[in-house]
Amino acid sequence: MTYLETTAQFYSEVAQTPQVGLCCVQSNSLQLPELKIPQPMQEMNYGCGTMVRPAELANAPTVLYVGVGGGLEALQFAYFSRRRGTVIAVDPVMAMREAAIRNLELAAQENAWFDPEFVEIRDGDAFFLSVADASVDVVAQNCLFNIFKPKDLHLALKEAFRVLKPNGRLLMSDPIATRPIPEHLQQDERLRAMCLSGALTYVQYIEHLVNAGFGQIEIRSRRPYRLLDCQSYGLKEHLLLESLDTVSYKVSIPEDGPCIFTGKTAIYAGGEPIFDDGAGHFLQRGISAAVCDKTAAKLAASFPEDILITDSTWHYDGGGCC
Ligand SMILES: C[S@@+](CC[C@H](N)C(=O)[O-])C[C@H]1O[C@@H](n2cnc3c(N)ncnc32)[C@H](O)[C@@H]1O
């Protein structure tokens, strides 16, 4: 069996016998007016973060969801679009598609606004998304791409890039590792399928996004996820996994490199009311402005006396300059 077949078998098992808490992080589930999540759907929350942020969904975008799981986030996306065909969800595991369909039917019984036709579930996988080039506003995946080995991850990211419209967004949530995961764990296909041993480091993860062509990447959150402890995993030191939520835009990569926003800000402390570096960056004295990491590094190197750069907060949701 290949590791992708092991993965499919594992998710077939957990579609039929749900494993509560398999992947999810401790968080309050998204509360929205008149949205009720059926219990069996809640028990199949196999994501490690969240893709659904109300402030980003105001324009009812077309969403392609990769790896439907129990259908929880497909339902949450449909909450914002409420039209047939606006949420397409693909999954290669038949038992998982069947579970999601059942759960969405339950959701229709509990939510007067919801029609199961709002979500179209298709047989398909991350490497072949069965939709036309440049046809969707959003591609979303939660706790799936970390399972893929680097070559397959590149294919999956290129496929997401292909189907996104220009300026479209790839929403991702995955575990990342605070140091490279040792080979013996990476080779363990079941641990990989459980999102525990395929994780890349932050730097490798971002590199993959850039190599697929995404010109702007924003970090929405980064927080502790799981500990691989010495005793259980045969390690010399404990290894912390984090959960990383990102939004990557299908925009060209600027000549001087991608714009990666990690929550850094620049604050001008010089003698003028306004700072202008002549390259499109304006700062008001004493007021913080979000900047991408590239600009933060340039400003810090060129104006060390006058500009203070604050640390990454790992939470960025708009504004500032690149
Ligand atoms: C960890 S679960 C996450 C489910 C869902 N995103 C959630 O947040 O609850 C991974 C999902 O990806 C599906 N999957 C496995 N291999 C896949 C592939 N090659 N392409 C697309 N989906 C896949 C699994 O069947 C499962 O539904």
**Domain limit, last residue, from 249, 274, 290:** 249
If you measure from the C-alpha of residue 230 to the centroid of ligand 1, how many angstroms do you get, rounded to a whole number?
28
271: containing domain? 264-309
Q: Pocket around ligand 1: residues whose beta carbon is below 6 Å from it?
A: 4, 7-8, 11, 23, 45-47, 66-70, 72-73, 90-93, 96, 125-126, 142-144, 195
Same-domain pairing of 276 and 172: no
Q: What is the DSSP letter of 201?
A: B
If you measure from the C-alpha of residue 219 to the centroid of ligand 1, how many angstroms do you get, rounded to a whole number?
22
If you measure from the C-alpha of residue 100 to the centroid of ligand 1, how many angstroms do you get, rounded to a whole number?
11
8 Å CB contact between 218 and 247: yes
In a domain, 45, yes or no: yes
Dihedral angle over CA of 295, 250, 195, 227, nearest 10: 10
Atom of ligand 1 at shortest range from CA of 148: 19
Predicted pLDDT of residue 218: 98
Ligand 1, atom 21, residue with closest C-alpha = 125
Residue 314 and residue 246: Cα distance in Å, rounded?
10
Question: For the chain, what is the domain count?
Answer: 2
Q: Which of 39, 7, 204 is nearest to 110 (CA)?
A: 39
What are the phi and psi torsion angles at 22 (to 5°)? Answer: -55, -50
Predicted pLDDT of residue 296: 97
Q: Which residue matches tokens 């397409």?
A: 88
Q: What is the pTM of this model?
A: 0.96
If you measure from the C-alpha of residue 64 to the centroid of ligand 1, how many angstroms do you get, rounded to a whole number?
13
Predicted pLDDT of residue 318: 81
Atom of ligand 1 at shortest range from CA of 125: 20
Predicted pLDDT of residue 34: 95
8 Å CB contact between 285 and 230: no
Burial classification of residue 16, based on how many CB atoms lie within 10 Å of its CB (0-12 exposed, 13-18 middle, 19 or more buried): exposed
- CATH number, domain of 226, equals 3.40.50.150
Pair of tokens at residue 102: 């059942």
Predicted pLDDT of residue 28: 62
Same-domain pairing of 120 and 173: yes
Q: Which of 169, 185, 104, 112 is nearest to 136 (CA)?
A: 169
Which residues lie across from 75 on neighbouring strands?
none
In a domain, 26, yes or no: yes
Ligand 1, atom 13, residue with closest C-alpha = 67
Note the helical H segments in 167-292. 183-186, 189-193, 202-211, 230-233
Predicted pLDDT of residue 124: 95
Pair of tokens at residue 179: 């140091």
If you measure from the C-alpha of residue 91 to the centroid of ligand 1, how many angstroms do you get, rounded to a whole number?
6
Per-residue pLDDT of the chain (322 residues; tens, 9 = 90+): 899 999 999 999 999 998 887 887 766 667 899 999 999 999 999 988 889 999 889 888 999 999 999 999 999 999 999 999 899 999 999 999 999 999 999 999 999 999 999 999 999 999 999 999 999 999 999 999 999 999 999 999 999 999 999 999 999 999 999 999 999 999 999 999 999 999 999 999 999 999 999 999 999 999 999 999 999 999 999 999 999 999 999 999 999 999 999 999 999 999 999 999 988 899 999 999 999 999 999 999 999 999 999 999 999 988 776 7
Same-domain pairing of 167 and 292: no
**Domain limit, last residue, from 197, 215, 249:** 249
HEC string of 259-280 equals EEECCCEEEECCCCCEEECCCC
Same-domain pairing of 40 and 186: yes
Q: What is the DSSP string of 234-265?
A: T-SS-EEEEEEEEEEE--PPPTT--EEESS-E
- How open is the CA angle 246-248-250, to the nearest 5 degrees? 170
> In what order do the strands lie in the sheet containing 265-268?
289-290, 265-268, 307-309
Same-domain pairing of 138 and 241: yes
Q: Which residue matches tokens 């400003």?
A: 299
Same-domain pairing of 16 and 115: yes
